[in-house]
Amino acid sequence: MVETLRHDLVIVGSGIAGLRAAIEAARVSAGKADIAVVTKVQAMRAHSVSAEGGTAAVLYPELGDSIESHLFDTVKGSDYLADQDAVERFVNMMPGEIYQLEHWGLPWSRREDGRIAQRWFGGYSYPRATYAEDKVGFFEMQTLYDTATKYPNIRFYQEWFVTAILCEGGEFRGVTAIEMKTGNFAQILGKAGIIATGGAGRLYSFATYAYSSTPDGLAAAYRAGIPLKDMEFIQFHPSGLIPSGILITEAARGEGGVLLNKDGQRFMREYAPNKLELASRDVVSRAMMTEIEQGRGFRDEASGLDYLHLDLSPVGGEKIKSRLSQIREIAIKFRGIDPAEKPLPVRPVCHYVMGGIDTNIDGATSMKGLWAAGEAACVSINGANRLGANSTAECLVWGKITGEEAAKYIAGRQAPAPPPELAEIEEKRVFDEIFHGRGGTNPYEVRDALQKLMAKDVFVYRTGDGLSGALEAIRALKSKDFLHCEDKSRVYNTNLSDVLEVESMLDVAEVVVAGALARTESRGAHARRDFPNRDDRDWLKHTLAYKGPDGPRLDYSAVTITKYQPAERHY
């Protein structure tokens, strides 16, 4: 018998977007809405806690920054694939979110005059990355979690693994989930839902993401009939620490760090003479891979990874200790290098997914009563390439928007009856077919094979042949009998959750590669060697991937252009 739990609003994910949505829904409903926050980790272990460098907002127009500048920088950074109405809403709302967090207690770093400090980030015309040393995600998460716990109508389901979205007649009804500490299976019903489960970064092994950052929420939406948008656009951050992939924040370059090849040359002068290391991330990552491919990189013999140097000596030891203390600690602990004394070995690393669950400007999906926010969603403000510090900002803005929209939606609505048999069907799939299933293929070997082919063929530079081979290989992996579980314990069965994650990874990877193969141009983070130019005539459009019987069915939708016509990008 499936246990049934009932709430007004079910939020899946406890990162910045999920927590901000919960707080706003509680506020708008004046504490009347019964809100569930369901997370597969402990709430404060959501990957948002790892964000380091900054949150973008226009705070000082009197000193030269402007809303219009933030809008243009974001659209330009997106390689003109962002929806400009969404970007305009975003940049207008962000200053209020910075001050709201301050009022809730976030200890922003300060300028000498006591006002909130900001630093340079790549692709910006003004230093608008608001920061708290290099621990922005931690402080934002702590502030939001502390605020959320003050609302008695917000209940946390910590370490519950969501397996499916329940939908009846095109309307959201709830989710199914496994309570990890008992293995019990339940349906958590709600009048409305918000998916805030983050991105798909663990499709790659060399990634800045936590190991828990698998595309469970994206896959659940995809299987429920909601399209995924622009999934071919994967961001590779220029500075992943070798060999772990741990993020070395863009703030390291914003504070004055420089990239050097093995000849000691500051090579970004050749690729982005105006912005240098602070060009947009896609530009810097391509420059780095070009340097490596042309033999001007280093080789880490232990991991086999090629890399370049990030030299922080221009920043100065005291500034590193005061503004980049976490980076210094990470470098010493994980590489044995004090960045105040020696350069860090770095290379491009999977860092963000510009695509996600297709939503409108309010974060609403095509399923009535279901919204998506944060990296899990594609509104789209990031288009083909996200600017640094816009991600935590997006989580705040659309956390607030979706929380408000959902709270208004549920007001006065009657709780729907449980959808007949849907939860039972999912329980049988999870437990009869997987938990008690048998198979000859090791699911962990499938995961490793997927990550290797993504790193090989769906990386910074791509080709049609490589993508075709990757798509064929992913479909071969999907056909293997890996959906089985060796561990038969119900208590904290991570073997079961791992297998469910691999299943989602394969579904979403297939969408990524199918969209990349179809898009015969280079735009933002999607760089095709066989189609090196941007093609606005044929490809100034969003990719929509619907789940079909034989894989993703691709469709397309128009980009919203309000102020800025596409132009060639120069940094």
Phi/psi for 149 (5° steps) reads: -70, -10
Question: How many other CB atoms sit within 10 Å of the CB of residue 450?
Answer: 24
Contact call for residues 185 and 203 (beta carbons, < 8 A): no
Q: In the sheet where 118-119 sits, what is the strand order?
A: 55-56, 129-130, 118-119
Environment class of residue 296 by beta-carbon count within 10 Å: exposed (0-12), middle (13-18) or buried (19+)?
Answer: middle
Bridge partners for 527 per DSSP:
461
Question: How many other CB atoms sit within 10 Å of the CB of residue 153?
Answer: 17
Bridge partners for 6 per DSSP:
189
Catalytic residue among 7, 89, 119, 237: 237
Q: Reduce the DSSP state of residue 187 to 3 states and report it.
A: strand
Phi/psi for 392 (5° steps) reads: -60, -35
Residue indicated by tokens 């997370």 = 39
Contact call for residues 129 and 56 (beta carbons, < 8 A): yes
Catalytic residue among 20, 202, 253, 569: 253
Measured between its terminal Cα atoms, the distance across the chain in Å is: 60
Contact call for residues 508 and 200 (beta carbons, < 8 A): yes
Q: Is 237 a catalytic residue?
A: yes
- Beta strand 551-558 pairing with 298-300: unpaired
Q: Reduce the DSSP state of residue 518 to 3 states and report it.
A: helix
**What span, in angstroms and rounded, lies between the C-alpha atoms of 512 and 495?**
25
Q: Reduce the DSSP state of residue 570 to 3 states and report it.
A: coil
Contact call for residues 314 and 280 (beta carbons, < 8 A): no
Contact call for residues 27 and 9 (beta carbons, < 8 A): no
Q: Which of 493, 499, 457 is nearest to 481 (CA)?
A: 499
DSSP string, 381-433: SSTTSPPTTHHHHHHHHHHHHHHHHHHHHHTTPPPPPPPTTHHHHHHIIIIII
**What span, in angstroms and rounded, lies between the C-alpha atoms of 533 and 535?**
6
Phi/psi for 231 (5° steps) reads: -75, -10
Contact call for residues 361 and 562 (beta carbons, < 8 A): no
The residue ranges of DSSP E strands in 180-250, in sequence order, are 184-189, 192-195, 228-229, 234-241
**What span, in angstroms and rounded, lies between the C-alpha atoms of 330 and 325?**
9
Joined tokens for residue 333: 């602990």
- The DSSP call for residue 242 is T
Q: Which of 397, 430, 405, 403 is nearest to 175 (CA)?
A: 430
Q: Is 526 a catalytic residue?
A: no
> What does the angle CA 496 – CA 500 – CA 503 come to, to the nearest 5 degrees?
140
Residues involved in catalysis? 237, 253
